[in-house]
Amino acid sequence: MHQVTTEIEQGYRAIFVVIVFDTGNGRTFCDNARLLDVDIAEVGLVVLSHRHHDHCNGTSHFIEINGKAKIYMRACEDQNYYFQAFGIRTSVGMDKAILERNSHRIEFIKNTTEIAPNIYIVTQIDKKYPQPLGNQYLYTQSKTGFERDKFNHELILVIKEKDGLVVFTGCAHSGVLNMVETVVNLFPEQKIKAVVGGFHLVGLPVFNSIDGSKQGIEVIGQVLAEYPIDKFYIGHYTGMKAYAILKQVLSDRLEHIPTGRSVYL
């Protein structure tokens, strides 16, 4: 879960909106919010990055506490989501009961949309660069059959502030380079001051392996370094091995954000 507080100007006054980006797999994010003095009942918006349980299932606990905030997801075909490796298949999709019971609270976004002043959900993600190799273990099942997940359920959250854009990636199954390239193309006159979230550079989590090779991750770092972006704050599903490789390339432009850390941008 990322909790974001941003300022929205309305006429001659400014108000602050608290946004929750992803809700984790259960109640833990609510407990963490309380420890950080974040009142879940006062959250104004929820954005869910993609339909995996570790990013969405905490939404049911959020709804128990907060009775007003709209919840935003990318519109997509009804599918089931799986992890499959070594002959073992396990569900990684969100609890569909959350969608069924709370349809009045959830808004599905098909096209890139400004959901509130200077707050954007981006759905059409460029495919200039390869997706993470770790996606090879992730599948969908729908009426058309069982196939590799194309991640047409993933989105990017972009917040436009006075001094630049802040980009939130979730897991970046679509590839962090593709996400950055997408935002650069959508907002050509705007500077990106920070990218926050996971880069999905873990191969198999159970083995704590990196996605691909050391050289491949170095290339990702080198391409990111070419963008005029001030800071990269990375965590979930990046992996500390990949972080160490990227740190050598991006130096002080890269920081790790463990659970509980507050960052002021």
- With vertex at residue 241, the alpha carbon angle to CA 2 and CA 148, rounded to the nearest 5 degrees, is 70
pTM over 0.85: yes
Architecture of 2-256 per CATH? 4-Layer Sandwich (3.60)
Contact at 8 Å (CB) between 191 and 228? Answer: yes
Residues 198-213 have pLDDT tens digits of: 999 987 765 667 877 8
Per-residue confidence (pLDDT) for residue 210, from 0 to 100: 80
Q: Which of 61, 5, 84, 49 is nearest to 237 (CA)?
A: 49
Give the integer Cα–Cα distance in Å for 30 and 1.
9
Q: Which of 86, 81, 23, 88 is nearest to 51 (CA)?
A: 81
Q: Tell me the CB-side half-sphere exposure of residue 18, using CA atoms within 13 A.
A: 13
Residues 41-95 have pLDDT tens digits of: 999 999 999 999 999 999 999 999 999 999 999 999 999 999 999 899 999 999 9
Per-residue confidence (pLDDT) for residue 212, from 0 to 100: 77
Domain boundaries, the chain: 2-256
